[in-house]
Amino acid sequence: MAQAIIGVDPHKRSATIEIINAREKTLGQGRFGTDRDGYQAMLAAGRKHKDRLWAVEGCNPRDGADRQ
C-alpha cells in the first residue's frame, strides 16, 4: 500500500485534495484552481510524497460503459 493516499475532489473551477497515510493521519490538504498554475501546484503538493496513490472522485472507468 502507498505511504500517502491523495484524495481528489475535482470541480469545474477547483480541485480539493487531502493527503493521508495508511493510519488515516492527515499529511496535507489544499484547494487548487483548474488552470495551469493550479494544476502544477497540486502536482507539486502530491510529489512531496514519494510513495503515493491518487484517488480521484468520480473517476470510475465503468461509468462510460454503463451508459448505453
Render pLDDT for 10-65 as a digit per residue (tens, 0 to 9). 999 999 999 999 999 999 999 999 999 999 999 999 999 999 999 999 887 665 55
| In-domain check, residue 68 | no
Q: What is the dihedral of CA 56, 59, 60, 61, to 10 degrees?
A: -130
| In-domain check, residue 23 | yes
Question: Whole-angstrom Cα distance, residue 39 to residue 36?
Answer: 5
Domain of 25 in residue numbering reads as: 4-61
- Give the pLDDT confidence score for residue 60 in this predicted structure: 73
| In-domain check, residue 53 | yes
The domain total for the chain is 1
- Residue 6's DSSP bridge partners are 19, 54
Residue 17 C-alpha cell reads as 485534495
Question: Whole-angstrom Cα distance, residue 34 to residue 48?
Answer: 20
Residue 54 C-alpha cell reads as 491518487
